[in-house]
Amino acid sequence: MDSITDTNWEYFSEYNNISYSENKITLNIYNPTTILLTGVLDFPDIEAQNLSASPAAEGKMSLQWTLTGDYDSDYTIGWNVYKRIVPSFGGTVFPTTDTGYDENVWESLTANNLVDFIDIEDTSWFDQSVTPDGFCSSYAITPVDRIGNIFYNISSVTTDIDGNADFVCGDSTPPISVVGDFSHQSVFTNDSECYDVLKNWNMCYRIDLQWNWLAGEENETWNLYRIEQQPQSIELYFIEPILENISPEEGAQFTFTQDGLNDSEIRPGKVFYYILAPVDKFGNERSIAFYPSPTVERVIIEDKWWEYNQHLIPVPEPEPEPPLGNDWLGDFSDNMEQQEFKIAGLVTLVILCLGIIMLALISKRLKRLRKVISARKRREAADSMANEFDDFFE
């Protein structure tokens, strides 16, 4: 512009003798002038090669790729991440761009499918969303420059082993593997060295767990949990395992030990439930447990100290001789001290007294009844004799 009030930009004319040399521009100015330097962004020289998607736990997905090109450029600032969900039996996926490119197709496929924008130097991305069962995902990552241009024609997409555009399917199903002969031993060590640590025999208990590895899934691992409540469809997600990432060896036996010296919870009278949970290669863990089950073992720590210290039990005093040497009298004498026996005896005595009184009353009534009956019989005999004399004299 020729002045600060001018509103029209004009290209420099040839008489200004403009020259270019690599990163340097030289020109001659003869009048006060406002200069504006503009540039045209070149096509970005960047690519995300070897894009791969790896299933993670709970049906989630992890993307990884290798950066090539000028990823330190100030003009290309990031990647758009697109995700298209398709049925597991097939669907339209993001196409590869090395054999052909149709801008209209890409604009249609990416509409409403942008899930994230990440920094240009990132080489991985984790999909936190869960793809529903029966569906899979097609992913594409596309470079974006600082003014918002999206370069679909150099996008990278998920492919199969032959390099053809394809979807990827996650895995949210936990394994169903079990172990064999899950058992335990609860041991009182009776170790004086253990006792001398804190002068407490309750510390000298040990739990030995054993089980056999059976056939399971490929690259499967196991976690071991311990809880104090009986598991009835309990969720293990928020419980910290006591042993993680156990690698099974089919046909082998595994042993795990806990003792009271190193674990203050191992004490007599405690009840524990030990739970083995399988984890597949994607990180899906069978986190629901219930008892009884082949992968749950109930452990009761019984107090066994007296079994090793019978000599400390005092000898009971001999029982006193029963009265007059009769066991029945001894039992009767002991029973007399019981409240129930006293009540029963009092009730019996009352009933006996009532019976004697009733018998006396009944006896008195019977005597009176006999007198009445005897008088009636004498009167009837006299009447009968008088009738006979009357008949004789007639």
What predicted TM-score, i.e. pTM, was given to this entire model?
Answer: 0.62
Least confident of 97-101, 127-131, 259-263, 317-321: 317-321
Helix (H, G, I), strand (E, B) or coil at 114: strand
Query: Of 217, 187, 211, which is closest to residue 293 (Cα–Cα)?
Result: 211
Same topology for domains 46-157 and 179-308, yes or no? yes
CA distance 300 to 269: 7
8-state DSSP, 15? G
Mean pLDDT of 246-251: 92
Tens digit of each residue's pLDDT (9 = 90 or more) over 351-383: 888 888 888 788 878 888 888 788 777 777 776
Ramachandran quadrant class, 59 (left: phi over 0; alpha: psi -120 to 50; beta: rest): left
Q: Who has greater pLDDT, 15 or 101?
A: 101
pLDDT of 9 above 60? yes
Look at residue 331 in the predicted model and tell me its pLDDT: 64
Look at residue 34 in the predicted model and tell me its pLDDT: 75
Residue 2 banded pLDDT, cuts 50, 70, 90: low
Helix (H, G, I), strand (E, B) or coil at 65: strand
Mean pLDDT of 268-286: 92
Look at residue 14 in the predicted model and tell me its pLDDT: 59
Q: Which two tokens stand for residue 70?
A: 């000028």
Least confident of 83-87, 187-191, 387-391: 387-391
For the segment(s) 46-157, the CATH number from 1.10.20.140, 3.20.20.140, 3.20.170.30, 2.60.40.10 is 2.60.40.10
Look at residue 16 in the predicted model and tell me its pLDDT: 59
Look at residue 225 in the predicted model and tell me its pLDDT: 96
Strands 46-55, 61-69: pairing is: antiparallel
Look at residue 137 in the predicted model and tell me its pLDDT: 92
The string of DSSP codes covering 230-287 is: PPEEEE-TTSPPSEEEEPP-TT-EEEEEEETTT-TT--TT-EEEEEEEEE-TT--B--
Tens digit of each residue's pLDDT (9 = 90 or more) over 48-86: 899 999 888 888 899 999 998 877 777 778 999 999 999
CA distance 287 to 235: 6
Beta pairing partners, 54: 62
CATH of domain 179-308: 2.60.40
Q: Which residue has the tokens 């029945």?
A: 328
Q: What torsion do the CA atoms of 95, 97, 101, 102 make, to the nearest 10 degrees?
A: 30
pLDDT of 166 above 70? yes
Look at residue 3 in the predicted model and tell me its pLDDT: 65
Residue 321 banded pLDDT, cuts 50, 70, 90: low
CB 198 within 8 A of CB 260: no
Residue 325 banded pLDDT, cuts 50, 70, 90: low
Residue 126 banded pLDDT, cuts 50, 70, 90: very high
Q: Which two tokens stand for residue 376?
A: 């009636």
Least confident of 231-235, 266-270, 335-339, 355-359: 335-339
Tens digit of each residue's pLDDT (9 = 90 or more) over 11-54: 766 555 677 777 777 777 777 777 777 767 677 888 889 999 98
CA distance 348 to 330: 21
Q: Who has greater pLDDT, 305 or 181?
A: 181
Query: Of 105, 117, 115, which is closest to residue 137 (Cα–Cα)?
Result: 115
8-state DSSP, 14? G
Q: Who has greater pLDDT, 258 or 360?
A: 258
8-state DSSP, 305? T
Hey, where are the domains in the chain?
A: 46-157, 179-308
